[in-house]
């Protein structure tokens, strides 16, 4: 038997209703902040991620689905292509390619699948879904200002509240600008030199390749060493310090609760200044529901104009998991199951179903070959509130037997009053 590939999964009803609820709420909230949707391709040139995410990151160095495309001619070498592991690089590529900055399109959001070859577990998949937004534009659009950072964080807090996700936690940090990070990375590298050998294998590698990522290590034995490493905040210069202070003050005045975590760094290389993460207690090991930050140099790194930006990516799979713990089933039961009884009654039944559906009701329809017993069994399996019998007599008289499946009460209702009766009960 062929099964779904490891790390991928089918999203089935009734859970899909939660996904739709999340996406509808996201669209509504983002709209209020004047974000518009962008949809970029699922695969891109590998170079985009190597340059936009960073060669040294886990994502690019070991988690991407990359293949060589066929060349146009048999002799021609094909392009290296990659399934997108995240969407910010694609959005910034599109921003540059279509000169979106010139068109004032500075606030973009996306919803869609991403692909990473990670070790699958609950809340971590190889195909997963992200909801993200980016504010990007020339500095003249104000995209570099602290108010953008605070506005995005406030929008996220509002969104989580609107979704009914309780007990979320927001941690923020500043990871400095490119120069400050060079100084901090040097300091980290130096501090790690004498201690790296006693740390986990990943940290030993990162200590030389990407020391900032050591701060991200979750191995318990490494924590006492990490506690004693230098802090980024001591390496921030005046402008970055002020930016961070402004963001914090704005969050406080917007009533968004947060904690500063000086060890928070993000997995992607392109972040500058503000970095943040929202976590949720009920999710266990994979407790990060979203992460993001500022990426002032990304557009230039991809060959575009200076275009400071800030954005985030939220794990939709994890949002749905968190919601499932709280609101297991939001699917509305069918209002009625229509049971045609006897030869030729399908014709009346399909017309009746159409009229009731047009009145806004959820209707499921049987078939005239079903016996009464089977119709009742089907109606109750579907969880319908009512069963509506469309027998030959009913069709002739225009009055129908309507039975409430919860109470057992049965009434006879003229065709014209059916919709109102179902809506009222």
Interaction site with ligand AMP (CB under 6 A) = 86, 116, 118, 123-125, 128, 130, 267, 288-291, 313, 315, 317-318
Nearest residue to ligand AMP by CB is 315
Q: Which is nearer to ligand AMP, 82 or 130 (CB)?
A: 130
Cβ atoms of 58 and 129 closer than 8 Å: no
Q: In what order do the strands lie in the sheet with 168-174?
A: 36-37, 107-115, 127-136, 309-315, 288-294, 272-280, 168-174, 259-260
CA-CA distance, 285 to 350, in Å (whole number)?
50
3-state SS string over 38-71? CCCCCEEEHHHHHHHCCCCCHHHHHHCCEEECCC
Classify strands 43-45 and 80-83 as parallel, antiparallel or unpaired.
Answer: antiparallel
- What's the closest the beta carbon of residue 399 comes to ligand AMP, in angstroms? 54
Smallest distance, ligand AMP to C-beta of residue 53, A: 9
- Smallest distance from ligand AMP to CB 54, Å: 12
Compare residues 118 and 222 and give the one whose CB is closer to ligand AMP.
118
- Provide the minimum distance between the beta carbon of 214 and ligand AMP in the complex, in angstroms, as a whole number: 17
Q: Decide: residue 112, CB within 10 A, 0-12 exposed, 13-18 middle, 19+ buried.
A: middle
- Specify the residue, 295 or 400, whose C-beta has the smaller distance to ligand AMP: 295
Nearer to ligand AMP, 290 or 402 (CB): 290
**Closer residue to ligand AMP (CB): 18 or 363:** 18
**Burial profile 368-398: b = 16 or more Cβ within 10 angstroms, e = fewer:** beeeeeebbebbeebebbbbbbbbeebbeee
DSSP state of 415: G
Kindly tell me which of 137 and 291 has the beta carbon lying closer to ligand AMP.
291
Q: What is the DSSP letter of 221?
A: G
| Residue number with CB closer to ligand AMP (93 or 116) | 116
- Provide the minimum distance between the beta carbon of 26 and ligand AMP in the complex, in angstroms, as a whole number: 14
Shortest distance, position 5 Cβ to ligand AMP, whole Å = 14
Q: Take residue 227 and report the two structure tokens written for it.
A: 């506690």
Least Å distance, CB 277 to ligand AMP, is: 7
341 in Cβ contact with 390 (< 8 Å): yes
Residues in the chain: 425
């Amino acid at each position: 038997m062929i099964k779904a590939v490891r790390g991928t999964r089918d999203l089935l009803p009734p859970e899909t209703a939660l996904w739709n609820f999340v996406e509808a709420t996201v669209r509504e909230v983002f709209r209020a902040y004047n974000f518009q949707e962008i949809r970029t391709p699922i695969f891109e040139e590998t170079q985009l991620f190597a340059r936009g995410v960073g060669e040294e990151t886990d994502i690019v160095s070991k988690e991407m689905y990359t293949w060589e495309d066929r060349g146009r001619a048999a002799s021609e070498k094909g392009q290296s292509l990659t399934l997108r592991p995240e969407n910010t690089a694609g959005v910034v590529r599109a921003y540059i390619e279509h000169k979106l900055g010139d068109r004032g399109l500075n606030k973009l959001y996306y919803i869609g699948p991403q692909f990473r070859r990670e070790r699958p577990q609950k809340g971590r998949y190889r195909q997963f879904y992200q909801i993200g937004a980016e504010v990007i534009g020339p500095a003249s659009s104000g995209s570099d200002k602290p108010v953008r950072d605070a506005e995005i964080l406030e929008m996220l807090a509002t969104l989580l509240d609107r979704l009914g996700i309780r007990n979320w936690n927001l941690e923020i940090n500043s990871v400095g600008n490119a120069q400050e990070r060079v100084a901090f990375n040097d300091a980290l590298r130096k501090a790690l030199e004498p201690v790296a050998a006693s740390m986990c294998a990943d940290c030993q590698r990162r200590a030389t390749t990407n020391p900032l990522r050591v701060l991200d290590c979750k191995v318990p034995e490494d924590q006492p060493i990490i506690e004693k490493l230098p802090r980024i905040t001591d390496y921030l210069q005046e402008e970055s310090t002020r930016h961070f202070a402004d963001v914090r003050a704005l969050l406080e005045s917007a009533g968004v609760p947060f904690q500063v975590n000086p060890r928070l760094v993000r997995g992607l290389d392109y972040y500058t200044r503000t970095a943040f993460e929202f976590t949720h207690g009920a999710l266990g090991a994979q407790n990060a529901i979203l992460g993001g930050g500022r990426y002032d140099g990304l557009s230039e790194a991809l060959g575009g104009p200076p275009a400071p930006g800030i954005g985030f990516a939220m794990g939709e799979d994890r949002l749905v998991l968190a919601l499932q713990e709280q609101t297991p089933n939001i699917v509305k039961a069918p209002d009625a199951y229509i049971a045609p009884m006897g030869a030729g009654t399908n014709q009346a039944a399909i017309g009746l179903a159409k009229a009731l559906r047009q009145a806004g009701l959820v209707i499921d329809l049987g078939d005239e070959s079903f016996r009464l017993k089977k119709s009742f069994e089907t109606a109750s399996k579907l969880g319908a509130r009512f069963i509506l019998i469309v027998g030959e007599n009913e069709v002739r008289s225009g009055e129908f037997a309507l039975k409430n499946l919860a109470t057992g009460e049965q009434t006879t209702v003229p065709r014209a009053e059916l919709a109102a009766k179902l809506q009222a009960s």
